[in-house]
Amino acid sequence: MKRVILDTNIIISSALGGVLVFIFEKWSEEKFTVVVTTDILAEYLDVLSRPKFKLPQETIDRITRFIYQFSEFVVPEERIRAIDSDPEDDKFLETAIAGKVDFIVSGDRHLLTLKTFRGIPILNARKFMDWLESNS
């Protein structure tokens, strides 16, 4: 099974509905494994809780349970400094290395500009969904 990191913007877009719900559906069907860290989970929850998204606490709780149920937690051992313009994004690269992932999925231009990191492709949501469709 492929191992994947979902950037926060993918989680938020999926939680808000629309086409990216497909990613949550395939995740729950265990078509891939999401790799996270406690720092990444904290960022997911912080952003999901922002008033501008107007997500009810019940929805945030359901997403949190989902992440705990369907994700693998890892602890990065290497500090990476690859994204000078947004060092907060380095945590996704650190997790990718620690979790030996196959893809990083993101809508963040800082990550997408890299295209790959140490041989790990960085895909936008559309390319990842295309991959899911062709491999399901």
- pLDDT tens-place string over residues 30-71: 999 999 999 999 999 999 999 999 999 999 999 999 999 999
The CATH number that domain 2-134 falls under is 3.40.50.1010
What 21-29 contacts at long range (C-beta under 8 Å, 24+ apart), as own/partner pairs, is: 22/129, 22/132, 23/105, 23/125, 23/128, 23/129, 23/132, 24/66, 26/132, 26/136, 27/70, 28/66, 28/70, 29/136
Section 117-121 average pLDDT: 96
Q: To the nearest 10°, the Cα dihedral for 37, 120, 77, 12?
A: -20
Q: Per-residue pLDDT averaged across 129-135, rounded?
A: 93
Answer whether residue 27 shows pLDDT above 90: yes
CB of 13 closer than 8 Å to CB of 20: yes
